[in-house]
Amino acid sequence: MTELNPDRIAEILTITVLPQGNGQYVCQISTNLPDRNRENIPCYGQTPEHAIAIALEQLADEYRRIAEESQNIDWRAVERSDSGEPIEKQYHVMLHYEDIITAESKFEAMHNTIIGNTVVENAKIIVIEVAKDLPIEPLTRSWF
């Protein structure tokens, strides 16, 4: 198991949620890191929690992209052992899909999304090479 490093990088996130005149909410997340060129993009939601979830997902998307790009991995490169056998590595694969769907019910909206290949075809997929001993659990969801 990976040991915790006492040399921490501390980033302070400020989450601001403001009610709008139409009963909706807007959320902005700002950070204390001066070298971060992140704009404070307003994220709208039906509730404060919805607005926060959208803003955090945008922030997560940025960090996933940074993590993937920082590895600078050739997508097609295959590392081989001295005997010529491919060396298998471990990857954390994150798939993110969002859509706005018109449906008769919440169940129908979910069902119509998962019955096809739309999610895989239209999702953002991030692939990050990770150590085999990284203590990470993939996020899974029970649908019912």
Q: What is the pLDDT of residues 84-127, one digit of tens each?
A: 999 999 999 988 888 888 999 999 988 888 887 777 788 888 89
Q: How far apart are CA 133 and CA 100, in angstroms?
A: 38
Mean pLDDT score, 48-56 = 94
pLDDT at 2: 52
On the question of pLDDT at 144 being above 60, the answer is no
Q: Cβ of 18: how many Cβ atoms within 10 Å? A: 11
Burial class (CB in 10 A: 0-12, 13-18, 19+), 43: buried
CA 32, 34, 40, 45 torsion: positive or negative?
A: negative
- Which residues 6+ apart lie within 8 Å of 43 measured at CB? 26, 27, 28, 51, 54, 55, 58
Give per-residue pLDDT as tens, 53-89.
999 998 888 888 888 999 988 889 999 999 999 999 9
Q: How far apart are CA 27 and CA 44, in angstroms?
A: 6
Give per-residue pLDDT as tens, 17-47.
999 999 999 999 887 766 555 567 789 999 9
pTM here is: 0.76
